[in-house]
Amino acid sequence: MSAYRSGMVALAGRPNVGKSTLANALSGVHLAAVSPRPQTTRRRIAMAVHGDDWQAVLLDIPGFQTPRDGLTRRMQATVDDTLADCDAAVLMLNAEEAVGGGDRYIAERVVASGLPVIVVVNKCDVGDPGAIARAVALAAEMVPRFHAVHPVSALTGDGLEALRASLPEVLPEGPAYFPEGIVTDQSPDEVAAELIREQALVRLRQEVPHSLAVQVDDITPTRGGGVRVEAVILVETESQKGIVVGKGGAMIRDIGTAARKALAVAWGYETHLDLFVKVRRRWRDDESMLDRLGV
């Protein structure tokens, strides 16, 4: 009988390369926010992939970036701390875009960590074969001792079974971190904040997303067996608040409706959502607010 294998696996790559989409797809549950906006992932999210005799805990971390304020400083610290704590890493590249300096920098950091590395070339459903081949070749240059390279589409699922089969090969022997059927250590408040923010990000203009956060104030059971969530979308200016509220409240209603449906799917029971918008100036440099938001 083979020994049980388990470990922490960092998902490393540039912002918007598809790390959260991959984590959701491999774990089978949509818990990490996904949007076209860079910096969608702001904190480390653990999501377990269960095998018959193994368990990989994927750590979806923010993309590498240059810190510009309190928020991005914390995000980069999360990246550094995660690499130090992990047993293996997945380096993600984007088949839609040429490999650049940012990819090379991240590859250097991952190689320097000494962890076994699986390279994933994502978005192969939209990248042309030549671009995919070039990304694979460059990955071999950047990570000479990689364990495996997998062209995949985290969105469509292409290539994910082969990638999944590679995960236990880079894990040490160890116990399961999560019991069967449990895929994350996120609290209900964290799940709610993540999925509400996701629905806001996919609907808002370019200038708003980086200034937006979600604070969950309360989650209470309802008589029908569901829950009621009270949450606030925080922005930094009155003009941003106007954009999030929308004409006649249309935007905030749209965000709320979509978020309620996403939470009901994630939790498996009826969810009511009371959603408000408030201005909190310079919250990204407010250490107490960042603590409260769990960043």
Integer CA distances (angstroms), 252 to 197, 213, 227, in order: 12, 14, 20
Say what the pLDDT of residue 66 is.
59
CA–CA distance, 215 with 292 (Å, rounded to integer): 8
Q: Who contacts 119 (Cβ-Cβ below 8 Å, separation ≥6)?
A: 90, 91, 93, 136, 139, 143, 146, 148, 149, 150
Give first-to-last CA distance, the chain, whole Å.
42
173-207 residue pLDDT tens:
999 998 888 888 888 898 899 899 889 988 887 66
Say what the pLDDT of residue 181 is.
82
Of 224, 241, 223, the closest CA to residue 232 belongs to 241
Say what the pLDDT of residue 21 is.
87
Say what the pLDDT of residue 37 is.
52
CA angle 293/270/268 to nearest 5° reads: 80
User: For the chain, what percentages of helix, strand and coil (3-state, to nearest 5) are there?
Assistant: 40, 25, 35
Say what the pLDDT of residue 62 is.
59
CA–CA distance, 29 with 178 (Å, rounded to integer): 14
**CA count, 13 A, side-chain hemisphere, 162:** 13
Say what the pLDDT of residue 214 is.
92
**What is the separation of C-alpha 37 from the centre of its chain, rounded to a whole number of angstroms?**
12
CA angle 24/25/29 to nearest 5° reads: 50
Per-residue model confidence as pLDDT tens for the chain (295 residues): 578 999 999 998 887 788 888 988 998 887 766 655 544 445 567 889 999 999 999 987 655 555 566 666 666 666 667 777 889 999 999 888 888 888 888 888 889 889 999 999 999 888 788 888 888 888 888 998 999 999 999 989 999 999 999 999 999 999 999 888 888 888 889 889 989 988 998 888 766 667 788 999 999 999 888 999 999 999 999 999 999 999 999 999 999 999 999 999 988 899 999 999 999 888 777 777 777 776 6
Radius of gyration of the chain (CA): 19
In the chain, the amino acid numbered 255 is I
Strands 227-235 and 271-279, bridge-based pairing: parallel
Say what the pLDDT of residue 76 is.
63
What domains are defined for the chain?
5-170 (3.40.50.300), 188-293 (3.30.300.20)
